[in-house]
């Protein structure tokens, strides 16, 4: 994957015989601020397919699926957290508590401290309210994932739409 500038994030082989499925999950490197577009995924698909065929490790036909971790990816490694800075995250803590907010800061190392700014939505038509930043130790996090924030997309689209008529309707 390094030839394509991507990291192997997961590998799964399921089924057997003609129903064998090889699932490869690739991700951008921590310092790669680009996007994982279809061209890069296509390059990886061709490289993995060629390597599997050359090694002849699968005795019969197989289906190869290559993709990304997805928009609401689980945050399981420090590099996942670093790429998610500025995004909304949902964190379940070891003590049973939960925290939803914007990931503001990720410390150095493989088990960094994390700073999340809690964000609550007070209701339709009102701006979200930010709380005081919460610092979490790596060991205090049971699991976490990125949450897609569609409200932010709608706000960006509204900003791009230009002025509205005087009645406040689009």
pLDDT score for 19: 84
pLDDT score for 59: 75
Rounded distance between C-alpha atoms, residue 119 and residue 130, angstroms = 5
pLDDT score for 133: 97
pLDDT over 70 for what percent of the chain? 84
Please tell me the least confidently modeled range out of 123-127, 131-135, 164-168: 164-168
- Whether this prediction's pTM lies above 0.75 is answered by no
Residue 107 reports pLDDT greater than 70 = yes
Please tell me the least confidently modeled range out of 30-34, 49-53, 100-104, 107-111: 30-34
Tokens in use for 156?
A: 């960006």
Nearest in space to 52 (alpha carbons), one of 41, 40, 64:
64
What is the average pLDDT score of the chain?
83
Q: Yes or no: say if 94 and 140 are a contact pair by the CB < 8 Å rule.
A: yes
Residue pLDDT, tens place only, 12-57 = 999 887 789 999 999 887 777 667 888 888 999 999 999 998 988 8
Residue 65 reports pLDDT greater than 90 = yes
DSSP track, the chain: -GGGTEEEEEEEEES-GGGEEEEEEEEE-TT--S---HHHHHHHHHHHHHHHHHHT-SSS-EEEEEE---TT-B--SHHHHHHTTTSEEEEEETTS-EEEEEEEEE-SSSS--EEEEEEE--STTS--EE---EEE-GGGEEEEEEE--HHHHHHHHHHHT-PPPTTS--
Rounded distance between C-alpha atoms, residue 90 and residue 16, angstroms = 36
């Amino acid at each position: 994957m390094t030839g394509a500038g991507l990291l192997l994030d997961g590998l799964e082989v399921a089924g057997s015989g003609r129903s064998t499925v090889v699932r490869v999950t690739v991700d951008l490197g921590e310092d790669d601020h680009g996007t994982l577009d279809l061209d890069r995924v296509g390059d990886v698909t061709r490289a993995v397919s060629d390597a599997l065929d050359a090694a002849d490790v699968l005795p019969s036909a197989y289906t190869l699926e290559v993709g990304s971790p997805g928009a609401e990816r689980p945050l399981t490694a420090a590099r996942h957290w670093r790429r998610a800075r500025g995004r909304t995250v949902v964190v379940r803590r070891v003590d049973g508590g939960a925290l939803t907010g914007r990931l503001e800061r990720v410390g150095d190392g493989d088990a960094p401290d994390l700073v999340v700014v809690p964000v609550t939505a007070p209701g339709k038509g009102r701006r979200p309210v930010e709380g005081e930043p919460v610092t979490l130790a790596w060991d205090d996090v049971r699991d976490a994932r990125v949450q897609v924030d569609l409200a932010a997309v709608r706000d960006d689209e509204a900003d791009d739409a230009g002025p509205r008529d005087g009645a406040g309707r689009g």
